[in-house]
A = this chain, B = another copy of it.
Amino acid sequence: MALTIIGGDDMTEKTFDIEKENFSKWYNTILKSANLIDIRYNVKGFVVYMPWAMKIIKRLYEMWERELEKTGHGPCLFPVVIPPENFEKEKEHIEGFEPEVFWITKAGKEKENLALRPTSETAFYQMYSIWIRSYNDLPFKFYQSCAVYRHETKATKPLMRGREFLWIEAHNAFETEGEALAQVKEDMKITKNVYDKLGIPFIFFQRPEFDKFAGAVSTYAADTLMPDGKILQLPSTHYLGQNFSKPFNIKFLDKNGKEKYPYQTCYGPPISRTLAALISIHGDKKGLILPFDIAPVQIVIVPIIFEKTRKKVLECAKKLKNELSGFRVEIDASEKRPGEKFYYWEMKGVPIRIEIGPKDIEKKQVILVNRVAGKKTVKEKDLLKEIKKQEKIILETMKDRANKSFNSMITEADDIGDVEKIMNKNGGFVKINFCSIGNDGRKCAEILKEKTGAEVRGIELNKKEKPKGKCIVCGKPAKCVVYAGRAY
């Protein structure tokens, strides 16, 4: 098995070369060509994660886990199964999730009755009622990295909407409402810290009442935009109030010995979807583009081989690799032509390529090619410093591009017709005056979606824009400015 062709990569002789304008084709092809996931597993909505994707995924998990542990969350792992008596304790929760639950009803020849976790509130909180006793136990902050299972009825889309997806879930409990709401802010900060390293732009919204997490008091969610103008939801964080602590009988004795219910939050950073966003937002006509931090291979060395100087060049490549041992480096010493190697590693999203031939060796230099910002000749002695510089340039360039594209997809509209036109043309977010994100706005949101396909995603946090005029749907005085758009 050639090192770089684990699991049958699809590209050998040809370049990737697919215009991103045709996003769906681009996306499906890159998943296959870069050998990220295989959708041919014979159960609908379930995919196989291949090594190139898994290596990225492990680093995504690590990024989030580091942030969560820094902010006092302990790692844990709960069972994948949830007994129905837990699952049914919070009324709205079960109503929201029941249509999507996979049920285990048989074990060997015995009868069984267990839900496969679609999310784990009702697993965690059953134990929280045992663990939490006193104010000394609070705040209580646990998270787990795992897969969850939902029998999606919407069309599935690899990594974006599947029946098995990878995520983290953090479940916290606090003495006061204030602390719980501060946690929601901390979750947003964690989201920002991670996405800053990935160059993924997003807006955090307060979701409308009619689009909350089942059982939550309020839901806050980050949305990004795919190149086709459709919205992809990223992490969400939910303020649960005492909606779960009461039915689950989670109680603590406060400083005065009085029994109280804690206030809770939960936070769900999506790993599969973050990978989808990373692929889609940054990739280009040549294939993937990966930030230096999480690329499985950060630097590929391509020796320019002529028969006469083969040995010398390969030795030099090995020497270089040793000098760069602090990075994840591969030498592509395969028999392919240099041009083919260039295309291949560009398609795989490797951020830096180093070319080295006999003439370069004489001149004690290499050619350094940055996946997003061109090539330059670098003296060998300056290479380490140059790589550190390029590492930053790569992320900055990726961010600039991504932000420009993201911002260009935010528009405003004054009536439903405009929204429809925008949706049919470029999609993206459209800002509109809207009657209410309370339950009284539900009807208007439904009409908007029916006529334009655009969903009301909520009001932008930290901005609280003042509406001018009337709701574009019902014509009543607008109470807010909301963002709307078509979503995955």
Contact = CB atoms under 8 A, between A and B. Distances in A.
Contact of A126 (B42, B107, B139): B42
Contact of A51 (B42, B74, B102): B74
B8 A83 contact: no
Interface stretch (A147-155, A222-230, A278-286, A406-414): A147-155
Contacts of A57: 77
A321 to B, nearest CB: 16
Interface stretch (A19-27, A110-118, A385-393): A110-118
Contacts of A94: none
Interface stretch (A127-135, A233-241, A376-384, A445-453): A127-135
A74 to B, nearest CB: 3
A226 B149 CA distance: 37
Nearest to A51: B74
A38 B124 CA distance: 12
A151 B41 contact: no
Contacts of A102: 104, 106-107, 112, 114
B103 A76 contact: no
Given A99-B108, A149-B80, A140 B75 contact: no
A110 B151 contact: yes
A127 B8 CA distance: 11
Contact of A79 (B7, B43, B131): B43
A54 to B, nearest CB: 4
A232 to B, nearest CB: 21
A8 B133 contact: yes
A126 to B, nearest CB: 6
A104 B105 CA distance: 6
A106 B110 CA distance: 16
Interface centre among A79, A82, A104, A114 (most CB of B within 10 A): A79
A40 B104 contact: no
Interface centre among A2, A54, A149 (most CB of B within 10 A): A54
6 contacts: A6-B74, A48-B77, A48-B79, A50-B74, A51-B74, A100-B107
Given A103-B105, A108-B98, A80 B131 contact: no
A108 B7 contact: no
B104 A99 contact: no
A164 interface: yes
Nearest to A65: B58
B106 A43 contact: no
Contact of A80 (B110, B114, B123, B164): B164
Given A100-B108, A102-B107, A103-B104, A76 B51 contact: yes
Contact of A7 (B42, B51, B142): B142
A137 interface: yes
A46 interface: yes
Given A43-B83, A81-B43, A151-B107, A142 B76 contact: no
B79 A137 contact: no
Contact of A48 (B38, B76, B139): B76
A77 B58 CA distance: 11
Contacts of A139: 1
9 shortest interchain CB distances as A-B pairs? A51-B74, A46-B79, A107-B151, A49-B77, A103-B106, A54-B75, A6-B74, A99-B108, A105-B105
A116 B104 contact: yes
A47 interface: yes
A194 interface: no
A371 interface: no
Contact of A8 (B8, B137, B151): B137
B8 A48 contact: no
A345 to B, nearest CB: 17
A38 B98 CA distance: 27
Nearest to A58: B75
A226 to B, nearest CB: 23
Interface string A157-184: 0000000101000000000000000000
A78 interface: yes
Interface in A337-368: none
Interface in A179-211: none
Contacts of A164: 79-81
